[in-house]
């Protein structure tokens, strides 16, 4: 299995598991919490069919990557992504982030700039800034995140069970757009993650990405469900689309957080269309 070394913890290397398939213009897919690169399965086949080289990797602490006790912040996550880009010698590549993965897209562009980056896509993503502060009244009260941290620390297995109900809006979509088995598969991946990572990632959700988004100067697509209970569109997708100059917003009607699975038909259509555009200058708002 292919791995990229991104650091060390005591005597052991910190390694990221990745997969690299196909040819053509590269697309890097960055997964959400608490999953792995395998969560992109409904996108990978479609992007390969469209003629792209598709790279997925597991964030540190998750999937088949190393599970260090440190490095769970977006500066480090962006550095890890940068190591992937350098190792694979990527040029003219697109960055696509789902949920937490949108934070990597924003921080990478904020930290390293857009050299060699062709396009950016934020799907159900955490930017721009989730925490309610005097200069960010649209954010979420800090007590909500404290409650999540307490729940993860007390019993992360039980937390994941409840989390995935809102991840997929199972009360509305079970049996139509998601199966019990798909939800169980997500739970299985989640419980294989590092206990340290499961807890330490929660405060990263409300890192401030506003300055990062101000530096985004590549064609950008924002896709978000209007029924997202994990990251409500008004606090995230809508605002990201407004903060990135020229960004296009696609709203998925009745879409939950994990639209990459439940509404893969819409997400894939918009993704393939956007990545295939030569200029990327269209700035229309679409309804999916």
Q: What is the set of active-site residues? A: 99, 228, 257
Element at 77 (helix H, strand E)? helix 74-87
**SS3 state at 38:** helix
φ and ψ of 123, to 5 deg = -115, 120
Joined tokens for residue 158? 């039980």
- Dihedral over Cα of 254, 257, 260, 262: its sign: negative
Give DSSP secondary structure letters for 177-219: TB-HHHHHHHHHHHHTS-HHHHHHTGGGGG---HHHHHT--S-
- Dihedral over Cα of 215, 217, 218, 221: its sign: positive
CB of 256 within 8 A of CB of 173? yes
């Amino acid at each position: 299995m292919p791995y990229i070394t991104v650091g060390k913890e005591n005597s052991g290397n910190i390694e990221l598991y990745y997969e690299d398939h196909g040819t053509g213009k590269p697309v890097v897919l960055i997964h959400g919490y608490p999953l792995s690169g395998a969560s992109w399965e409904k996108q990978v086949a479609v992007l390969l069919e469209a003629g792209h080289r598709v790279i997925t990797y597991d964030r540190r602490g998750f999937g088949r990557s190393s599970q260090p006790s440190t490095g769970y912040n977006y500066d480090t996550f962006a550095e890890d992504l940068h190591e992937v880009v350098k190792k694979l010698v990527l040029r003219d590549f697109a960055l696509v982030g789902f949920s937490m993965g949108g934070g990597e897209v924003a921080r990478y562009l904020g930290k390293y700039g857009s050299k060699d980056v062709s396009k950016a896509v934020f799907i159900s993503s955490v930017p721009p800034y989730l925490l309610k502060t005097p200069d960010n009244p649209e954010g979420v009260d800090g007590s909500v995140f404290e409650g999540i941290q307490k729940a993860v620390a007390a019993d992360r297995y039980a937390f994941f069970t409840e989390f995935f109900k809102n991840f997929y809006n199972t009360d509305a979509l079970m049996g139509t757009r998601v199966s019990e088995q798909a939800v169980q598969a997500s739970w299985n991946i989640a419980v294989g993650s590092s206990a340290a990572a499961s807890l330490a990632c929660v405060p990263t959700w409300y890192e401030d990405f506003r300055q990062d988004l101000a530096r985004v100067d590549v064609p950008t697509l924002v896709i978000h469900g209007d029924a997202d209970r994990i990251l409500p569109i008004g606090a995230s997708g809508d605002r990201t689309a407004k903060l990135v100059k020229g960004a296009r917003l696609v709203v998925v009607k009745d879409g939950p957080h994990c639209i990459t699975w439940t509404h893969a038909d819409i997400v894939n259509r918009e993704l393939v269309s956007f990545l295939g555009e030569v200029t990327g200058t269209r700035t229309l708002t679409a309804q999916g």
